[in-house]
């Protein structure tokens, strides 16, 4: 109890960050599940969402800037897939991965060019940016909103995948890409749809994340992106509940480590965790073992 | 023991020695054009250094290009020849450059460099060549340790684990509790560096030669077999874990040496500079040069450095023609143009400049012979 | 007295709830050509993969030249899912990687040819010599192993010449026509100096003429290199002609075994291949 009392602010922050990582990691896990691609650009799409909000809110009210931020992010995700990944669908997997790195490099450099490398102040979103006290801790309302919103979105997504036709197509493609193509699944539209969902969730995640952290820089997406990917691997890549649970675990642990005064190692911890899970259970918490056919 | 048995056991008998020298001589005779070209290259650089001012951009490009060539070739050994996708190059370079700097800062300069840490805890220096090798070894040891758990897994995880590792290393080296060794987040400086362009050419040249010899050896064939088909390679008796580990460790060794050279070139080093974008740039150099081509990597290193440091610099400067401001040109535009070029290469010229081919003396000679042959035929017609 | 080369004891392979191979016990004696036949999906290739270490069998063991080289019993989650006999005898766990088994002297080819496509024909064979060389990475890089390397090259060239592939030696393996790719794959397996050669559908995609040649070729290499051969094959004329004994698998189980003549008359084999009428 003592531990919880002194660490309550960190645990709360951890849950909040965990929810934000969860929203990003779903984009990774779904794309990996279907294309077997680590979408290195996903973290940067998240970063662009942050900048879109900064620039849009400078000129327009929130009820316009928030929807437009989401639309821009979704469009970006869609365009990136169409331009950079679709032409390489039959290429070796390493080529697509390199293309993803190229996109990441491109987005970071563009952001750098547009902002001259300066950190931008993230606009205050009223209400969710307000302070609230829970027990002994004072925090922003966004901290409380994040896990709830994450939870709702994840349930909606799971239902979508389970009960709709496109969800079924996604599951089929994750199991066997070629066969589902032969069965008449329109793979290109399903893949686009996957990127759209991933980018949509990343945009929501960025609204919540940057409200917490208040500044956006061109490399702001790199670290959350990597951590979200680790979360996806931790939970068993391809599994949405796995990714969410992994993200919460990483968010909470990381903040407790910060609370203990080991801030330098809060990032290192994530990767130590990755290596541990890869050694102990390479398929992650909820992953299925697959045997390559010889 | 009979003469025959001894030679079987690998003792060098006079006869074997003779045969060995003969084969070395034969090798030199066969490749004299190549050796002559290398000698000529060094001579040209030497002469240029006497003629041109040392501040010339050309030397910046040559020095940095040579260093990046080494790092790119070492990455190619792993990504191109063994088919392992690693993104830890910046991390290994960081380890190399720090190892080099820490062990070579002269004792009298330590108090000034480690001003916040009472002159640091390392109270000795080693000669520069030893420090270069130590830089490589330090990177190799780290690579070995990471490789143990990660190389057994699917190659995707290697990419993310090495990328993560590079980030950890960057954080750890800036940790102030390690300050007495790494100087925390402060600069390391005043360690020996080089002024002549010949130096990085010489060191990179030796390292790249070793890598090429490795690639063309029995082990290099095993690496390529793993790249082509892991299951068949295993069925041919190639121990996957051992060979992947070897390739990863050796590649990291040379990345470490490259990092040390980079430290020498910059004259200062700071962990914060070794970001993942550095790894990305090296990867993109490899891609532009052609994955699986050593000469391609070398060529594209020089091209990349020349463009980014010299030819495309103007893109970063606001330019006015009369009172008209040329649009788009501003700080950071160079890198945007770069990224676009790279995406074009990745999407439309997947083979890069060289594909998996190599520039060899033979190929150059053949090219000229063909050229002249054609001309003489045209004359005849 | 015949010398036993390969013995599998109750080899079982279960993927999740699917039993691909069940209680397979076979023996191969020195100098024999033994065929493993059965309808598609009968578990023949799975058996090969268990023997060569590509898969870990769920249960059972493999003995090669009197030495147990693979052995396993269900563990972890598989313990609950295992559908086989729950006999108490716990086998020691020996799970070598395929390269170790190749080193012991079992070489194999693959159903869908797996050559090193970006290497030349010559290099494909040369790779197989890597395993037996005494060099280490340092001596190999500095060419201190030049004697060994020279010998490996000479041996590989000799092998290519025998197999009639010498004229293609500098071509990329992927550029060879199908039949020659098959032959190269066998040559590459021979280069590992095996005692036992596993051939996975060597005649797949061949016409009768080529199959005929292949039969002669298999007998020839068997005699020349003092091999024992275990092969999976669908071409019955090939199987009946050259094999000493035949094992027949169906749905992962051994349903018959004997000389070609015996197997041909076996009712269960006929049923497995032709199906049984519903009302029979």
Q: What pLDDT digit, counting tens, does each position of C3-50 carry?
A: 889 999 889 998 877 889 988 999 999 999 999 998 888 889 999 999
Lowest-confidence segment of A118-127, B70-79, B290-299 by average pLDDT: A118-127
- Under a CB-based contact definition with an 8 Å cutoff, are residues A245 and A15 in contact? no
C57 and C135 inside one domain: no
CATH class of A2-280: mainly alpha
Q: What is the mean pLDDT of residues C110-121?
A: 92
Is residue C83 over pLDDT 90? no
Q: Supply the mean pLDDT for chain A.
A: 88
- What does the CA dihedral A20, A23, A24, A29 come to, rounded to 10 degrees? 140
Residue (of C109, C98, C120) closest to C165 by Cα position = C120
Give partners of B (≥3 CB pairs < 8 A).
A, C
Contact A264 B333 (CB under 8 A): no
Which range, A172-176, A238-242, B266-270, B316-320, has the best average confidence (pLDDT)? B266-270
Note the pLDDT of residue B148: 87
3-state SS, one letter per residue, for chain B = CCHHHHHHCCCCCHHHHHHHHHHHHHHHHHCHHHHHHHHHHHHHHHHHHHHCCCCCHHHHHHHHHHHHHHHHHHHHHHHHHCCCCCCCHHHHHHHHHHHHHHHHCCHHHHHHHCCCCCCCCCCCCCCHHHHHHHHHHHHHHHHHHHHHHHCCCCHHHHHHHHHHHHHHHHHHHCCHHHHHHHCCCCCEECCCCCCCCHHHHHHHHHHHHHHHHHHCCHHHHHHHHHHHCHHHHHHCCCCHHHHHHHHHHHHHHHHHHHHHHHHHHHCEECHHHCCHHHHHHHHHHHHHHCCCCHHHHHHHHHHHHHHHHHHCHHHHCCCEECCEECCCCCCCHHHHHHHHHHHHHHHHCCCCCCCCCCCCHHHHHHHHHHHHHHHHHHHHC
Residue C259 lies in domain: 1-105+195-280
Is residue B380 over pLDDT 70? no
C200 and C273 inside one domain: yes
C240 and C199 inside one domain: yes
CB pairs under 8 A between A and B: 123
Pick the residue of B79, B160, B226 with the most A CBs within 10 A to test the interface with A by mutation. B160
Backbone angles phi, psi at B232, to 5 degrees: -65, -35
Note the pLDDT of residue A272: 82
Which range, A41-45, B17-21, B50-54, has the best average confidence (pLDDT)? A41-45
Nearest CA of chain B to the CA of A80: how many Å? 11
Is residue B357 over pLDDT 50? yes
Q: How confident is the model at residue B9 (pLDDT cuts 50, 70, 90)?
A: very low
**CB nearest to B234's CB, from C98, C117, C141:** C98
Which range, A188-197, B108-117, B188-197, has the best average confidence (pLDDT)? A188-197
Is residue A289 over pLDDT 80? no
Is residue B212 over pLDDT 90? yes
C208 and C149 inside one domain: no
CB-CB neighbors (< 8 A) of C45 in chain A: 294
C210 and C184 inside one domain: no
Q: Where are the domains of chain B?
A: 57-279
Note the pLDDT of residue B141: 96
Note the pLDDT of residue A244: 93
Residues 250-309 (B) with a CB less than 8 A from some CB of C: 250, 292
- Structural domain tally of chain C? 2
Residue (of C137, C121, C127, C134) closest to C107 by Cα position = C127
Each residue of B281-293: pLDDT tens digit? 999 899 999 998 9
Say if C110 falls within a structural domain: no
Q: Does B236 touch chain C (CB under 8 A)?
A: yes
Is residue B11 over pLDDT 80? no
Lowest-confidence segment of B301-310, B359-368, C30-39, C84-93 by average pLDDT: C84-93
Note the pLDDT of residue C89: 62
C86 and C176 inside one domain: no
Each residue of C201-243: pLDDT tens digit? 998 888 888 889 889 999 999 999 999 999 999 888 888 889 9
- Under a CB-based contact definition with an 8 Å cutoff, are residues C53 and C251 in contact? no
Q: What angle do CA C254, C260, C264 make, to 5 degrees?
A: 75
Q: Does A280 touch chain B (CB under 8 A)?
A: no
C81 and C202 inside one domain: yes
- β-pairing, B324-325 vs C106-108, is unpaired
CB-CB neighbors (< 8 A) of B231 in chain A: 292, 294
Contact B213 C132 (CB under 8 A): no
Q: Does A98 touch chain B (CB under 8 A)?
A: yes
Query: In angstroms, rounded to a whole number, what is the distance separating the alpha carbons of residues A235 and B368?
Result: 59
Q: What is the mean pLDDT of residues A180-188?
A: 89
Note the pLDDT of residue C80: 72
Say if C81 falls within a structural domain: yes
Is residue C88 over pLDDT 70? no
Contact A226 B163 (CB under 8 A): yes
Q: Does C113 touch chain A (CB under 8 A)?
A: no
C181 and C280 inside one domain: no
ipTM computed for the complex: 0.90
Nearest CA of chain C to the CA of A276: how many Å? 19
Is residue B132 over pLDDT 90? yes
Q: Is A37 exposed, middle or buried (0-12, 13-18, 19+ CB in 10 A)?
A: buried
CB-CB neighbors (< 8 A) of C126 in chain B: 218, 221
Q: How confident is the model at residue A288 (pLDDT cuts 50, 70, 90)?
A: low
C151 and C218 inside one domain: no
Say if C164 falls within a structural domain: yes
Contact C188 B236 (CB under 8 A): yes
Q: Does B9 touch chain C (CB under 8 A)?
A: no
Q: What is the mean pLDDT of residues C147-171?
A: 90
Note the pLDDT of residue B376: 53
C133 and C75 inside one domain: no
- Picking from C193, C224, C243, the residue at the C-terminal end of a domain is C193
Lowest-confidence segment of B306-315, B326-335, B363-372, C104-113 by average pLDDT: B363-372
- pLDDT cut 90: percent of chain B above it: 42
Is residue C279 over pLDDT 60? no
Q: Is B225 exposed, middle or buried (0-12, 13-18, 19+ CB in 10 A)?
A: buried
Is residue A247 over pLDDT 50? yes
Lowest-confidence segment of A1-10, A60-69, A208-217, B305-314 by average pLDDT: A1-10
Note the pLDDT of residue C40: 84
Say if C70 falls within a structural domain: yes
Note the pLDDT of residue A74: 96
- pLDDT cut 70: percent of chain B above it: 92
Say if C123 falls within a structural domain: yes
The nearest alpha carbon in chain A to C52 belongs to A294
Each residue of B86-104: pLDDT tens digit? 899 999 999 999 999 999 9
Q: Supply the mean pLDDT for chain B.
A: 85
């Amino acid at each position: 109890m003592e531990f919880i009392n002194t660490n309550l602010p960190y645990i709360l922050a951890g849950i909040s960050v965990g929810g934000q990582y969860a929203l990003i990691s779903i984009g990774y896990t779904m794309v990996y599940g279907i294309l077997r691609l680590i979408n290195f650009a996903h973290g940067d799409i998240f970063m662009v969402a942050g900048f879109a909000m900064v620039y849009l809110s400078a000129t327009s009210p929130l009820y316009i800037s928030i929807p437009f931020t989401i639309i821009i992010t979704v469009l970006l995700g869609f365009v990136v897939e169409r331009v950079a990944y679709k032409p390489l669908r039959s290429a070796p997997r390493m080529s697509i991965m390199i293309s993803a790195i190229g996109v990441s490099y491109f987005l970071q450099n563009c952001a750098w060019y547009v902002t001259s490398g300066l950190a931008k102040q993230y606009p205050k979103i009223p209400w969710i940016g307000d302070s609230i006290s829970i027990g002994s801790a004072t925090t922003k309302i966004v901290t409380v909103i994040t896990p709830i919103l994450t939870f709702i979105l994840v349930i909606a997504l799971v239902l979508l995948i389970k009960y709709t036709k496109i969800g079924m197509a996604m599951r089929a493609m994750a199991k066997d890409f070629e066969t589902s193509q032969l069965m008449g699944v329109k793979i290109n539209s399903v893949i686009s749809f996957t990127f759209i969902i991933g980018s949509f969730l990343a945009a929501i995640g960025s609204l919540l994340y940057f409200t917490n952290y208040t500044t956006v820089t061109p490399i702001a997406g790199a670290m959350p992106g990597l951590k979200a990917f680790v979360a996806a691997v931790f939970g068993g890549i391809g599994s949405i509940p796995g990714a969410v649970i992994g993200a919460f675990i990483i968010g909470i642990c990381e903040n407790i480590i910060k609370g203990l005064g080991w801030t330098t190692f809060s990032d290192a911890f994530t990767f130590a965790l990755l290596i541990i899970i890869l050694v102990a259970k390479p398929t992650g918490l909820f992953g299925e073992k697959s045997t390559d056919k010889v | 023991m009979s003469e025959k048995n001894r030679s079987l056991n690998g003792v060098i008998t006079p006869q074997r020695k003779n045969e060995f020298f003969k084969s070395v001589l034969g090798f030199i005779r066969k490749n004299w054009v190549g050796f002559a070209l290398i000698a000529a290259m060094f001579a040209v650089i030497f002469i240029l250094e006497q003629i041109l001012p040392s501040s010339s951009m050309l030397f910046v490009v040559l020095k940095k290009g040579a260093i990046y060539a080494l790092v790119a070739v070492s990455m190619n050994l792993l990504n191109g020849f063994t088919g392992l996708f690693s993104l830890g190059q910046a991390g290994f370079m960081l380890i190399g450059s720090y190892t080099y700097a820490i062990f070579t800062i002269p004792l009298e300069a330590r108090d000034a460099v480690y001003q916040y840490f009472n002159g640091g805890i390392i109270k000795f220096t080693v000669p520069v060549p030893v420090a270069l090798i130590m830089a490589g070894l330090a990177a190799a040891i780290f690579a070995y340790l990471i490789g143990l758990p990660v190389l057994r897994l699917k190659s995707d995880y290697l990419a993310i684990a090495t990328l993560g590792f590079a980030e950890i290393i960057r954080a750890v080296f800036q940790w102030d509790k390690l300050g007495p060794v790494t100087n925390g987040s402060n600069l390391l400086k005043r360690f020996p560096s080089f002024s002549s362009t010949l130096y990085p050419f010489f060191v990179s040249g030796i390292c790249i030669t070793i890598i090429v010899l490795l690639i063309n050896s029995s082990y290099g064939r095993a690496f390529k077999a793993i790249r082509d088909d892991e299951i068949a390679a295993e069925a041919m008796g190639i121990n996957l874990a051992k060979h992947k580990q070897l390739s990863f460790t050796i590649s990291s060794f040379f990345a470490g040496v490259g990092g040390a050279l980079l430290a020498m070139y910059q004259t200062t080093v700071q962990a914060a500079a070794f970001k993942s974008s550095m790894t990305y740039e090296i990867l993109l150099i490899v891609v532009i040069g052609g994955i699986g081509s050593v000469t391609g990597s070398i060529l594209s290193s020089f091209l990349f450095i020349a463009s980014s440091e010299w030819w495309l610099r103007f893109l970063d400067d606001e330019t006015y023609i009369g009172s008209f401001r040329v649009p788009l040109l501003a700080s950071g535009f160079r890198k945007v143009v770069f990224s676009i070029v790279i995406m074009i290469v990745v999407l439309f010229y997947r083979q890069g400049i060289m594909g998996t081919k190599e520039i060899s003396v033979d190929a150059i000679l053949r090219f000229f012979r063909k050229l002249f042959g054609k001309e003489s035929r045209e004359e005849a017609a | 007295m015949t010398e036993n080369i390969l013995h599998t004891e109750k080899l079982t392979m279960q993927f999740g709830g699917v039993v691909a191979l069940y209680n397979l016990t076979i023996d191969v004696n020195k100098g024999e050509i033994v065929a493993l036949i059965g309808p598609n999906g009968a578990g023949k290739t799975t058996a090969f993969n268990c023997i060569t270490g590509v898969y870990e069998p769920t249960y059972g063991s493999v003995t090669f030249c009197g030495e147990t080289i693979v052995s396993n019993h269900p563990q972890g989650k598989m313990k609950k899912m295992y559908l086989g006999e729950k006999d108490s005898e716990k086998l020691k766990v020996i799970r070598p990687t395929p390269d170790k088994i190749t080193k012991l002297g079992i070489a194999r080819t693959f159903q869908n040819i797996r050559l090193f496509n970006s290497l030349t024909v010559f290099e494909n064979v040369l790779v197989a010599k890597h395993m037996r060389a005494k060099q280490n990475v340092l001596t190999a890089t500095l060419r201190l192993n030049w004697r060994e390397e020279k010998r490996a090259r000479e041996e590989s060239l000799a092998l290519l010449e025998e197999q009639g592939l010498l004229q293609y030696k500098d071509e990329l393996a992927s550029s060879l026509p199908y039949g020659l790719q098959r032959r190269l794959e066998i040559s590459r397996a021979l280069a590992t100096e095996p005692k036992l050669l596993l051939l996975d559908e060597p005649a797949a995609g061949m016409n009768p003429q080529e199959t005929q040649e292949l039969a002669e070729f298999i007998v020839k290499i068997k005699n020349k290199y003092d091999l024992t051969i275990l092969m999976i094959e669908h071409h019955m004329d090939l199987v009946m002609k050259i094999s000493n004994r035949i094992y027949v698998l169906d749905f992962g189980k051994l349903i018959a075994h004997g000389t070609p003549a015996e197997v041909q008359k076996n009712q269960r084999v006929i049923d497995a291949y032709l199906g049984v009428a519903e009302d029979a």
